[in-house]
Amino acid sequence: MPSDRATDLQGALAMAHALLGPLPQVDKRVVLLSDRADGQSGGPPLGEGSALPVWLPLPDLGVAADDCAVMAADRSGLKVRVHLACSPGASAGGREVSIVAGRDVVARSAAPPGQEATVTLALTAEPATDLLARLAAGDAIAEDDSAPVVDDVSPGSIAVIADVPTDIPTGGGAPLVEQALAALKLDAPVRPLPGMPEREEDLAAFAGLLIDDPPGFTPEQRKALSSYLGKGGVVLLTLGPRAAAAALGASLEPVLTRAPQWLPTAVPGADPSGAAPLLAEGATSLASLGPKGRTVLAREDRAAFDVLIPWQDGAPLVARRALGRGMVWIATLPVSAEASDFALRPGFLSMLEGWADDARSRSTPRRTDVGVPWPLPGVTSATAEGPGGPVVADEDSGLLRIIPARAGLYTLRLDDRAERRVARVPLRELDMRPRAVASAALGEGIGETRTQVDFSWLLALLVLGLLVLEMALRAFSAAPREAES
């Protein structure tokens, strides 16, 4: 079956050893037919220290070559950014990069020099069909010189939404929640937003959404949030006095079905003994928070959440629930340092880290290397159409997933919605320098045509035939002597 997966010579040799090792035959060897370009030209020589002889009958296949590829093509409005990458020491400088719609070239530019480069091209109008980014011919492999143009699929980031930045420290600087996320050193950028977006596409790029004490959501915002959670998004909602005083026509749906209340409290803080294992270590720092109040949930909403950290009277301080394919976390205190010491304690960092880990584990980039599985949490039915035709989803530990084997654009049908994703050639496949081979693997003796076959049965049969012949001759010569006597 054709595949654009990365070359894995070590894995192939290990598999061959596992298959041949237990066999009883004496004459065993591993024959390697490859150009040896596995992206690890500096790795140990192939066949070195092997338990079984490794023979490379065609060493001339390993010839270094230059290759350049279109690794990504992202469109934002009327601008298309095309990212190019080449083999070590190679460059696409001077070659034409074009954007193609059907048979028409709608934009073109020359690639700048360098092993990696980004070309930005401007479109004159919104495209009426799918676009393709193409690099002019001029290297060893033509198949990776084009890639589909898709909407901007920058890495999933964390969005922080606070309509009123009440958590800005007295001395100035970034808000407390942004400082806390920076202290966690997440591998996702943090983007503050001035307000809750009203369009579904404005939330698509975010792996996680942190909303601090919102004054309710408008119908448009609720629709965008419902769609975001339905597609696997993860939300952290901190609730304070503004959330309990939502404006007319606003509510906290789909997270809460009833309006919460902000009430004074005599409970000093959390009960660490009731904390879930995920946050148990950090919960010890939340035993005394000095809160000026707390958010109280309606009975129906409280029953829908799993409590991760309880107040000392059992009410939820930190809780979460699944909603659609996504997950909602809530905290019944806002981030504001004026309301409590919650945001100043290590337990707050533990909560942020647990929520961020949840967001990253559920977030699947829309562009991955070929062969990297696309997990589909919460999906009950999945099909895909890719460059090689239909792709069947398989199941791993109860979770559906799709594994792209060819580079290109895939259209996924996940339950009742469609989604587009891209699989690209792994970057290390552009390194076409052959890997070294152990000298023993190049020897003629290991590949000679004289094999070690057991001929003892044939020799025994020959001796037996000679014995029968001798006995026949003896009997024939004895007959005349008997007649003379």
Q: What is the pLDDT along the chain (485 residues), one digit of tens a residue?
A: 678 888 889 889 999 999 998 988 888 889 999 999 988 888 889 888 888 889 888 888 888 899 999 999 988 889 999 999 999 999 999 999 999 998 899 999 999 999 999 999 999 988 888 899 999 998 999 999 999 998 765 556 788 987 555 555 555 566 788 888 888 877 677 888 888 999 887 887 788 999 999 999 999 999 999 988 987 889 999 999 999 888 778 899 999 999 999 999 999 999 999 999 989 989 999 999 999 999 999 999 999 999 999 999 999 999 999 988 789 999 999 998 889 999 889 999 999 999 988 887 777 677 889 998 988 877 888 999 999 899 989 988 888 899 999 999 999 998 877 888 899 999 999 999 999 988 888 865 565 545 555 667 788 888 898 888 888 888 877 766 666 65
Residue 232 identity (one-letter amino acid): G
List all residues 6 or more positions away from 87 whose beta carbon is below 8 Å from its beta carbon: 65, 66, 67, 68, 115, 430, 431, 432, 433
Pair type for strands 104-110 and 96-101 = antiparallel
* CA gap 371, 369 in Å, rounded: 6
What count of residues does the chain have?
485
Cβ atoms within 10 Å of 114's Cβ, excluding its own: 14
Query: H or E segment at 471?
Result: helix 456-484
Q: Where in the chain is the domain with CATH 3.40.50.880?
A: 157-362
Nearest Cα to Cα of residue 233 among 257, 263, 211, 256: 211
How far is residue 191's CA from residue 184's CA, in Å, rounded to a whole number?
A: 15
DSSP 8-state symbol, 291:
-
Q: What is the 3-state secondary structure (H, E, C) of 203-247?
A: CCCEEEEEEECCCCECHHHHHHHHHHHHCCCEEEEECCCCHHHCC
- Whose CA is closest to 289, among 240, 342, 336, 335? 342
Query: What's the token pair of residue 168?
Result: 């800005």
* Cα distance between residue 291 and residue 311, in whole Å: 11
Look at strands 234-238 and 206-212 and give their pairing: parallel
Q: How far apart are CA 366 and CA 368, in angstroms?
A: 7
Instruction: Please give the pLDDT value at position 172.
Output: 54
> What pLDDT does 50 receive?
86
User: For the whole prediction, is pTM greater than 0.85?
Assistant: no
How far apart are the C-alpha atoms of 133 and 408, rounded to whole Å?
Answer: 12
Alpha helices, DSSP H, located in 94-230: 176-183, 219-230
CATH topology of domain 157-362: Rossmann fold (3.40.50)
Instruction: List the alpha helices (DSSP H) in 48-175.
Output: none
